[in-house]
């Protein structure tokens, strides 16, 4: 790891550091409302870092850069404009969730520090999914996003429905993780690589005759993500989870869990690279098929 690698993951490091600060401050302050502002400050700082990585000053004019993808950590991380856009989106969702949660947590006597710390760790996992360019990094980020949500769903310890929601979400998430891991294992078996670009190059040698193993692997990966976002027909226990979990957690899970897998699949373009190793021009940002629209509209679809 070098300075360049650290720069690429700096927004995620800021959010992770904020989670640790929130847990530490929770031990020494009695006015727990301060923790919400600490969490919001960390998310705003991470968004500012991402915005700073995206912009530059030319002749006294502040402009967005046409940032070319930059790789780090031996090709496991890739930072481009779309990844930075996803970071801004996730931080914005996090700020809104924190502001909505403060009064609710106080009213239900829920531990503030644990709640905000876990919420920030979920956002770290979401950022990791957006910048990942390797199956291993993608799976680690997926689990980092998933595991804290099981605890958040059951954070109302005095409410049996919250405990039920946590258990059901854990079982549903375990299925998603297992299916996703199986699909990634098959994809590695078909290509011998875990890096997205290397997988595409390896499978490009097959020409138009993509192997059945590759198709099965990609289907399993899609099904794993579908379980996570509670897409039909993989939404069996989602209503029970959303009903029993704390209201801010329900809002966060139902909205924020959509753009994270979308950002992973869209930014890496894994499906497109495997099916078409030499894809045509990337859709413009105004195109309905653009990944920018996909990530932005995912929370809107969930909210409506």
- pLDDT at position 304 is 46
Q: Which domain holds residue 53?
A: 3-277+288-303
Residue 62, class by beta-carbon neighbours within 10 Å (0-12 exposed, 13-18 middle, 19+ buried)? Answer: exposed
- In-domain check, residue 268: yes
The answer as to whether 37 is a domain residue is yes
**If phi over 0 gives left and psi between -120 and 50 gives alpha, with beta otherwise, what is residue 74?**
left
**Could you give the number of structural domains in the chain?**
1
The pLDDT profile of the chain, 304 residues, written as one tens digit per residue, is 777 888 888 999 999 999 999 999 999 888 888 999 999 999 999 999 988 887 765 555 555 555 566 788 888 888 888 888 889 999 999 999 999 888 888 888 778 889 999 999 999 999 999 888 889 999 999 999 999 999 999 888 888 888 898 998 898 889 889 999 999 999 898 888 888 888 888 777 665 556 788 888 888 988 888 888 777 777 777 888 888 888 889 888 888 777 776 666 554 445 544 444 444 444 444 444 444 444 454 444 444 4
Domain assignment present for 229: yes
The reply to whether 283 falls in a domain is no
Dihedral, 53, 7, 121, 108 alpha carbons, nearest 10: -50
CB-neighbour burial class of residue 297 (10 A; exposed 0-12, middle 13-18, buried 19+) = middle
Q: Would you state the pLDDT for residue 301?
A: 46
Structure tokens given for 73: 């950590």
Q: Which long-range contacts (CB under 8 A, 24 or more apart) does 103-107 make?
A: 104/246, 104/247, 104/248, 105/32, 105/246, 105/248, 106/32, 106/33
Give pTM, 2 decimals: 0.82
Q: Is residue 125 in some structural domain? A: yes
How far does the chain reach from its first CA to its final CA, in angstroms?
Answer: 43
DSSP 246: -
Return the pLDDT at 278.
Answer: 47
Q: Is 189 left (phi over 0), alpha (psi -120 to 50) or beta?
A: alpha
Q: Is residue 282 part of a domain?
A: no
Return the H-helix or E-strand segment holding 77: strand 77-79
Counting DSSP H helices and E strands in the chain, the numbers are 14, 4
Query: Max alpha carbon distance in the chain (Å)?
Result: 64
């Amino acid at each position: 790891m070098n300075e360049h690698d650290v720069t690429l993951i700096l927004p995620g490091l800021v959010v992770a550091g904020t989670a640790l600060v929130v847990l530490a401050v929770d031990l020494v302050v009695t006015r727990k409302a301060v923790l919400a502002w600490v969490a919001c400050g960390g998310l705003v700082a991470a968004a500012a870092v991402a915005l700073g990585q995206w912009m530059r000053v030319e002749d006294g004019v502040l402009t967005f850069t046409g940032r070319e993808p930059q790789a780090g950590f031996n090709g496991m991380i890739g930072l481009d404009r779309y990844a930075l856009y996803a970071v801004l989106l996730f931080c914005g969702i996090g700020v809104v969730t924190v502001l909505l949660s403060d009064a609710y947590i106080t009213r239900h006597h829920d531990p503030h520090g644990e709640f905000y710390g876990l919420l920030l760790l979920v956002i770290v996992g979401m950022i990791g999914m957006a910048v990942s360019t390797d199956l291993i990094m993608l799976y680690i980020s997926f689990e980092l996003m998933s595991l804290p949500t099981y605890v958040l769903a059951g954070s109302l310890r005095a409410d049996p429905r919250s405990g039920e929601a946590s258990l059901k979400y854990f079982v549903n998430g375990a299925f998603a993780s297992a299916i996703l891991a199986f699909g990634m294992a098959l994809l590695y078996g078909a290509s011998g690589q875990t890096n997205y670009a290397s997988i595409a190059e390896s499978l490009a040698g097959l020409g138009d005759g993509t192997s059945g193993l590759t198709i099965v692997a990609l289907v399993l990966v899609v099904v794993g993500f579908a379980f996570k976002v509670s897409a039909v027909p993989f939404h069996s226990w989602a209503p029970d989870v959303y009903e029993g979990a704390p209201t801010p957690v329900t809002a966060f899970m139902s909205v924020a869990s959509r753009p994270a897998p979308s950002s992973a699949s869209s930014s890496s373009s894994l499906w497109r690279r495997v099916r078409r190793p030499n894809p045509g021009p990337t859709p413009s940002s105004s195109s309905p098929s653009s990944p920018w629209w996909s990530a932005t509209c995912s929370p809107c679809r969930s909210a409506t």
